[in-house]
Amino acid sequence: GFTYGDDIAAGKVLANELRLKLGEDIPRFIEDGGLILGICNGFQVLVKAGILPRPANDSPPLLTLMTNDSGKFECRWVHLRVNKKSPCVFTQGINSLYLPVAHAEGKVVADPKVLPELDVVLYYTDEDGNSNAVYPYNPNGSVGNIAGIGDTSGHIFALMPHPERYIRGTQHPQWTRLGAKQYGDGFQIFLNAVKWAQGL
């Protein structure tokens, strides 16, 4: 996270490097069906590089990430609902997740025209699963409570929450009180990617 210190804007410098140094390789990798996962700063990089949402004919970006509505770094655990209509490989078979977030620039802002066409994979919810969540359940003020997006192929996934920080049950802050599960909620996201790769 915080590539290049988030100078200029979160993820912007690395996004420029990807476009300049891997400009032809990334589209080819996508066309060949490769998987791409961007977590937190990775989400910011994929958006700033124009990889998500997938632009048409080099059109200007219709979505970006901005400073949280709270104006501060948000480090907390959030409830998430998976969009069952999404073709995302990483979230198949998952209904909901409880994962940590840690960011200052995670607010999804989008042109209203792009929202109906956007492949939203994850939504922030309250603890009862209601998707009209407000702060602190939506930690950044993202439009539509968007926590993660993908593409129509289901092979590209970008999210602000951190599944890699909840792989083992003991990574939950209350595991001693609640009893530790063997695997945390983030484990299935990576397992899905492995299973997909094994099927090639």
| Domain map (residue ranges) of the chain | 3-198
In the three-class reduction of DSSP (H, G, I as helix; E, B as strand; rest coil), residue 172 is classed as coil
In this prediction, residue 23 carries a pLDDT of: 75
Contact 56, 162 (CB under 8 A): no
Helix (H, G, I), strand (E, B) or coil at 109: strand
pTM, full prediction: 0.91
Instruction: Report, as ranges of residue numbers, the positions in the chain whose pLDDT lies below 50.
Output: none
What token pair was written down for 176?
């001693």
Question: Tokens 């094994």 identify what position?
Answer: 198
Rounded-to-integer distance, Cα 146 and Cα 121, Å:
8
Supply the residues annotated as catalytic.
Answer: 40, 162, 164
Alpha-helix runs per DSSP H in 62-158: none
Q: Tell me which DSSP letter residue 88 carries.
A: -
Question: For residue 130, what are the CA distances in angstroms to 133, 141, 142, 184?
Answer: 6, 15, 15, 22
Indicate the helix (H) or strand (E) that contains 187.
helix 187-198
Q: What is the CATH number of domain 3-198?
A: 3.40.50.880
> Tens digit of pLDDT for each residue in 71-101?
999 999 999 999 999 999 999 999 999 999 9
- 44 in helix, strand or coil? helix
